[in-house]
Amino acid sequence: MSSYKAHSIFAFILSLMFFHNPLTIALTFIGANIPDFDHKFKKENVYKMIILGLVVFISLYILKLPYYIGLIIIFLGVTFYFSEHRSFTHSIFGVMTLASAVSLIMIWGSQLVNAVTIIDNHYLLMAILIALLSFLFLNKKLLMVFIPLFFISLFVFPAVEVSYLEIVFSLFLGLFSHVILDSFTSAGIKIFAPLSSRKVYRNFGLSMIFLLVVVAIIYNIPVLFNLFGNYILSG
């Protein structure tokens, strides 16, 4: 069984292949830990998620603010509650659904906070939301490592704005990395659940890793050209 440590490390490595921004790297890291909320031993956390969603929904509704965030959190909790372990949440449809839902929490959350506070720094706003998101999806052991390293990275690396598209892609990458790693287990994964119970195994994982490496190389070609050009000019 793949542990949360293995999933976190694998997602972190993949994120470095695509991103150079602490925000998107952090979102990929968090995304890799989301699918296992369908596990029975995390049901208590799922109940808390549903209750949190209800509180957020009622509070925002009373204040006449956009209450959709609460509904999305409830939707996530209900999805995890009714999903069998390594079924829907570990499928391509589940990855797309979860990435979309969590992205909406981030996007709508940023718009809400921006509307009710004086914070006009989009980078700082996203950092705060990512920190809050980590408390929702990361366990205590990971939080003790993630939170200090995340905020240190915000001061060490230059602030770069993150687009909504990057939010979706980084979460998708983290979620998909979880699916890839679980395909190496003897149980495999139901990649097309709930439409099909067909399972995929190691070969699927290897092919997806190869595909991601190729995509990462293509994605980083402009960066590589710039580095090569700077090297030639400095020479």
DSSP code for 200: B
Q: What are the tens digits of pLDDT across the range 171-225?
A: 999 999 999 999 999 999 999 999 999 999 999 999 999 999 999 998 888 766 6
The Cβ of residue 187 has, within 10 Å, a number of other Cβ atoms equal to 12
Q: What are the tens digits of pLDDT across the range 113-158?
A: 888 887 778 898 999 999 999 999 998 899 999 999 999 999 998 8
pTM: 0.92
Q: How far is CA 154 from CA 121, 126, 142, 169, 206, in A?
A: 13, 11, 18, 20, 33
Percentage with pLDDT > 90 across the chain: 72
Between 226 and 87, name the one with better pLDDT: 87
Task: Please say if the pLDDT value at position 235 is more than 70.
Answer: no
Give the pLDDT of residue 234.
Answer: 60
Under DSSP, is residue 189 helix (H, G, I), strand (E, B) or coil? strand
Q: What are the tens digits of pLDDT across the range 91-100?
A: 999 999 999 9
Go through the chain and tell me how many residues it has.
235
Lowest mean pLDDT among 4-18, 107-121, 149-163: 107-121
Between 58 and 83, name the one with better pLDDT: 58
